[in-house]
Amino acid sequence: MKAPKRSDATSATTAGAGKARARPRGRPRSFDRETALEKALLAFWEHGYEATSVSDLTRVMDIGAPSLYSAFGDKRSLFEEVVRVYGTRYGSFAERALAEEPTARAAVERTLREAATAYTEPGHPHGCLVVHAAANCSNPEVEQSLRDRRNANIAALESRIRADVAAGVLPPATDAAALARHTGAMIQGMSQQARDGASREELEAVAEIALSIWPRTGTHTG
């Protein structure tokens, strides 16, 4: 007696199921990219670029190395993205002050006061990532990128100071380049002081002294 013949539909369904089982499927991403990126940011912020290894990153991000490379590229690419996110999320106060305050001096006063707060806030590492991450960095591209960011901030302030000199807000003899670099040195120094344990109040006192050297004209108060 012959076995009953399967219908064409049944055969097609079985064959299709076999093909589906045989077809490799990509593994869905099993982690939240933004959460992992924030964890990487905190690691770089705490330890700097050089001292943060790929194994450190995979541990704190709670992902495997293949997932890290797939989602973020190599360590340098991840760090570059971290710096961009840091600039938007934590480090934009100086840029906002320059854009919103009426004079360079007012912008610097606001920047130094906000730095004193931002650099000592609980919940994240103290100081500035862009300053600290460059410490002992042996990667010339990373080091140059961070240096360019810091110098761009100084250049923006210098331009604003020159505009105030031209407008008569600051005396004609004001050394715009030196004054801008002095401010950059104060911000970088406050970052290190914060990492060394200085309080917000202590950094605010430093900011007051830094502001006392700013020249004034007889008609503008900045």
Q: In this structure, how many other beta carbons lie within 10 angstroms of the beta carbon of residue 10? A: 10
Sign of CA dihedral 59, 64, 68, 74: positive
Matching fold, domains 33-75 and 90-212: no
Say which DSSP state 29 is in.
P
Structural contact between residues 108 and 174, judged by C-beta atoms closer than 8 angstroms? no
- The answer to whether residue 22 scores a pLDDT higher than 80 is no
Rounded to the nearest integer, the mean pLDDT of the chain is 88
CB 132 within 8 A of CB 195: yes
pLDDT at residue 64, as a whole number: 94
The span from the CA of 165 to the CA of 171, in Å, is 6
User: What's the pLDDT score for residue 29?
Assistant: 56
C-alpha torsion sign, points 185, 191, 196, 202? positive
Within 8 A by CB and 6+ apart from 127, the residues are: 119, 191, 192, 194, 195
pLDDT value at residue 19: 44
* pLDDT greater than 70 at residue 104: yes
Nearest-angstrom CA–CA distance, 86 and 97: 17
Q: In this predicted structure, what is the pLDDT of residue 135?
A: 82
Q: In the structure encoding, which two tokens stand for residue 148, read together?
A: 């360019």
Alpha-carbon span 182 to 91, nearest angstrom: 19
pLDDT of residue 9: 45
Tell me if 210 sits within 8 A of 186, measured CB to CB.
Answer: yes
End-to-end CA separation in angstroms for the chain: 105
CATH of domain 90-212: 1.10.357.10
- pLDDT tens column, 189-208: 999 999 999 999 999 999 99
20: pLDDT confidence band, cut at 50, 70 and 90? very low
Q: Is the pLDDT of residue 75 over 80?
A: yes
Q: What is the pLDDT of residue 199?
A: 98
H-helix or E-strand containing 203?
A: helix 200-212
* Domain limits, the chain: 33-75, 90-212
**Domain 33-75 falls in which CATH fold?**
Arc Repressor Mutant, subunit A (1.10.10)
The percentage of residues in the chain with a pLDDT greater than 90, rounded to a whole number, is 80
Structure tokens given for 170: 């600051």
pLDDT exceeds 90 at position 168: yes
Asked if 50 and 140 count as a contact pair (C-beta separation under 8 A), the reply is no
